[in-house]
Amino acid sequence: MQVASNIGSSLDFYLFVSIALFAIGAIGAMTRKNMIVLLMCIELMLNAVNLMLVTFSTFYGNGDAQIFVFFTMVVAAAEATVGLSIIIMAYRNLKSIDIDMYNQLKN
C-alpha cells in the first residue's frame, strides 16, 4: 500500500483535527440542550479520541491503539445504549428531553 507510507506528513494535521473535534464536541456538549444531541456530541468527542489513537497507532506502527479504538467503540455503543434508555426513562418522567428542565437538584 503506497498510500500509507507517505501519510507521515499528514499525521500532525490529523492530530490537530482530533483536538479540534474534541473541542467542538465539548462546545456542543456545553451548548446543546437536547439530550440526544448532547449524547451525540459526546460521541463526537469519543471519535476525536479514536482519530487521535489511530493517528498515533500509525505513527508508532503499533496495532495496540487500533485495538483500543475497537474497545472504545464497544464502550461507546454500550454507553449509547444505556444513555438512550436513560433518556427514554427521563422523558417518561418529565416529558421533555430539554436538559435545562432537569434542575430540581441543585445547591
Partner 1 sequence: MDSIVILFISGLLGLFVGMRQQTLLSLIIALGGIILAALAAFFREAYHTPLANYSNYIPTPAYVIILLCFVTLLAILGGYKRYSQDKDHIGDYFSLILFSLCGAIMMVQPNDLMLFFIGLEILSIPIYVLVGIEKGSALSAEAAVKYFFTGSFASAILLFGIALLYGATGSFQLIEIQSNLAFGIWSSPLAIIGSLFILAGFVFKIGAVPFHFWGPDVYQGASNAVLMYMSTVVKIAGIYAIVNVFGQVFRDSYLFWIDLISIIIVLSMFYGYITAWKQNSFRRLIAYSSIANAGLMLLALANTQNSNIFLFVSAYSFATIPLIIINNVANSDDDDLKNWEGIAWKNPLIAIALVVALFSLAGIPPLAGFFGKFSLLWSALPQIPYTVILALIASLIGAFVYLKLLLLALKKPSVQVKQSIPLDQIIALLITTMASLVALYFI
Partner 2 sequence: MSLQIISIILGSLTLASALLVVFSKHPVRSVIYLVVTFFFITSMYIMMNAQFLAIVNMIVYAGAIMVLFLFVLMLLNLNKEAEPVTTKGSQLAAFIAGGSLFLVLITALKDTLTLGQTYRAHNDQIGLVKQLGNLLFTKYLVAFEITSILFIAAMVGAILLAKREKQIIE
Partner 3 sequence: MPLDLTLIIVLSLPLLGFAVNGIFGKMLSKKLVGSIATIAVFTSFILATTLFVRLDGTQIVKLFNIVDHDNFKINASFQIDALSVWMSLIITGIGSLIHLFSIGYMSNDEGYYKFFSYLNLFIFSMLILVLGSNYFVLFFGWEGVGLCSYLLISFHYNDKHKGVANSLAGRKAFIMNRIGDGGLLLGLFMLLGQFNSLEYLEIGQSLAANTHLGSGAMVFIALCLFIAATGKSAQIPLFTWLPDAMAGPTPVSALIHAATMVTAGIYLLVRSNFLFELAPSIKDLVLYIGLATTLLSAFIALRQNDIKKILAYSTVSQLGLMFVALGFGAYSVALFHVTTHAFFKALLFLGSGSVIHGMHEEQDIRKMGGLAKLMPITHFTFLIGTMAISGIPLFSGFFSKDEIMAQALHHNIWAYSILVVAVSLTAIYMFRLYFLTFHGNFRGGENLKSKVHESGLSMTLPLAILAILSVFGGILNLPGLFFKGSAHWFDNYLSQGTFGLEHIHNVHLDFNAAIQLMIFASTVALGILVWAYFVYFKKGNLAKSDLELSSWEKLSASKLYFDEAYNYLLVNPLIKLSDFTGKILDIKILRNGVYAIADGVLNTANLSRRWQSGFLSSYLFWMIFGLILFIAFYILKISI
C-alpha triplet 43, 105, 98: angle, nearest 5°: 45
How many other C-beta atoms lie within 10 A of the C-beta of residue 48?
20
- Taking CB under 8 A as the criterion, which residues in 14-73 touch partner 3? 26, 29-31, 33, 38
The CB-of-38 to partner 2 minimum distance in angstroms stands at 10
| Alpha carbons 56 and 65: distance in angstroms, whole number | 7
Q: Which listed option, partner 1, partner 2, partner 3, none, makes contact with residue 52 (CB within 5 to 8 Å by class)?
A: partner 1
- Positions in 38-67 near partner 2 (CB under 8 A): 39-41, 43-44, 47, 50-51, 54-55, 57-64, 66-67
